[in-house]
Chain A
């Protein structure tokens, strides 16, 4: 027996992980050098949560997915060109800063407000999805605060597996210390799931999905609400890159046995 879920995925743009980043001081606080020029991707953990949402929705007909995204409107539009071809969803766009240096409290307030205003969202069926932490602020706190604002007291963090069981129960595996999972059950929605990587690959691009999505994405981008998020009350004394240059000793043209002995001595030393 399947259940109907209304899945809201929170996720935004972050710089491509392969890019080299440099901090800079702006008029309102720290930021990234050439931030708007950097190639961007959907935040990796949030992307995993979107793929898991799609899988769950597919297994439970009648379910629906919204992607709530706060970021620069132009960057969001670029992002949608790729993401929209992978998964069916309805976009709720918020035009504002996606910087890691904004305060999670302010971001949570804006995102919760947007979710509350989603037309047709049945809160009794709500599963609030997102990444367990972003690749920008990397704090892992925003989703829980949104959940609290929406009155959700069944929350899970670093989820790798969610199973919808007969009878409506959800079975959840969360990452905990020591490379283990905590196994919990929850008597159905509403609930919050902060995803780790999950177990699904990135879905292939499907132009038909992309075309269907674009019918709603473009209007959503056009009516994206301007959202002010900052870091009121925070003072950044400095933001700097760590010194990471080491003087590497290269050992080559050396017999394997000699290398092995050196490694063993180092391990035991």
Chain B
């Protein structure tokens, strides 16, 4: 019989992130399918009562919390100590948590302390009787495995966008505080703050309906034999502003900034999608001036509707991978799209 712990941390405003509410749905689904699978909630943060109250009606048997100013920041030492204490206190055999940057950093270490095992980037869960099976990708989203494990505790970090957001009435959670003392070594790291990457505009919007991918073609010589970088920048930024799309990039384009070639000033490695970049989840994706095959397929793995603009009708990326390929000059098309969106 599994004992399940749903683990989450609060955000700076005291609420739980959306990905945590998705992971809660996953935990409830697993708990519901397993015989006698009792669910506990473990929360980390400062003034955590509000976050606990928001999910009070989720049906958990117990609400545990490590609370205090030292646990409000995303820091390995304090997060690992807090999560370790919560798992020990709960006696959990299965720990389900959102794959946030904070937990991706700290939970592998907690797993090591507890001699457990861990799976991250989990994209699906299923129960066969009391056996939990999960799906995750290998080789950078190029093949998917279904697996199970015998070791416990088993940490499962769920990817964002896989499960529905848990919705329920707020209530009053009876929080059981777990005390954690941090030693000085854990406090050698101090979180200074958050900053946006050096760029002219915030171009990464995880919740956007559309992902706009710009390829290296934007910085190459055009039909007149000239490079039109400024035009490319204006067109792309104009499109992003009007469509509220998130910006992705091919590796070759972002690499140019490191290699001293002509670059789009707002583009950084954070925009990169593909095998060495992100695999974002958006309902729609529009690729422009891209080329290549395998790495791009990976970047678009979780894009539902895909369209591409390319001057090459045999574009290896688009054929068989995009739903629609527009054989046209992206400069001209995006200029016209911007015009229409403006009007």
**Which of A's residues lie within 8 Å of B, judged by CB?**
14-15, 17-21, 23, 30, 32, 44-45, 100-101, 103-105, 108, 135-145, 147-149, 153-158, 160, 171, 173-188, 192, 194, 196-201, 233-242, 244-254, 256-257, 259-264, 266-267
Question: Are A148 and B112 in touch, CB under 8 angstroms?
Answer: yes
Question: Are A179 and B324 in touch, CB under 8 angstroms?
Answer: no
Which residues of the other chain, A, contact B262 by a CB distance below 8 angstroms? none
Which residues of the other chain, A, contact B336 by a CB distance below 8 angstroms? 256-257, 259-260
Which residues of the other chain, A, contact B61 by a CB distance below 8 angstroms? none
Q: If the complex has contacts A249-B323, A250-B325, are A141 and B108 also in contact, measured as CB distance less than 8 A?
A: yes
Q: If the complex has contacts A137-B138, A177-B100, are A154 and B189 also in contact, measured as CB distance less than 8 A?
A: yes
Question: Are B145 and A236 in touch, CB under 8 angstroms?
Answer: yes
Question: Are B147 and A235 in touch, CB under 8 angstroms?
Answer: yes
Cβ-based interface call for B210 (8 A):
yes
Question: Are A267 and B284 in touch, CB under 8 angstroms?
Answer: yes
The 3 closest A-B pairs by CB, nearest first: A179-B204, A141-B108, A260-B336
Cβ-based interface call for B105 (8 A):
yes
Which residues of the other chain, B, contact A137 by a CB distance below 8 angstroms? 138
**Which of B's residues lie within 8 Å of A, judged by CB?**
17, 74-77, 80, 100-102, 104-106, 108-109, 111-113, 117-121, 133, 137-151, 185-186, 188-197, 202-206, 209-210, 243, 254-255, 258-260, 269-272, 275-276, 284, 286, 294-295, 297, 301, 305-307, 309, 313, 318-329, 332-333, 336-337, 339-341
Which residues of the other chain, B, contact A153 by a CB distance below 8 angstroms? 76-77, 80, 109, 185-186
Most buried by A among B100, B105, B149: B105
Give complex CA distance A238, B134 in Å.
11
Q: Which residue of A lies closest to B244 (CB)?
A: A267
Question: Are A260 and B194 in touch, CB under 8 angstroms?
Answer: no
Which residues of the other chain, A, contact B255 by a CB distance below 8 angstroms? 201
Q: List 11 A-B contacts (CB under 8 A).
A: A100-B138, A138-B121, A171-B192, A175-B101, A175-B270, A182-B101, A186-B188, A192-B76, A199-B258, A234-B147, A241-B144
Give complex CA distance A139, B337 in Å.
39
Distance between A169 CB and nearest chain B CB, rounded to angstroms: 9
Q: If the complex has contacts A155-B76, A201-B259, A235-B148, are A108 and B112 also in contact, measured as CB distance less than 8 A?
A: yes
Which residues of the other chain, B, contact A182 by a CB distance below 8 angstroms? 74, 101, 191, 193-194
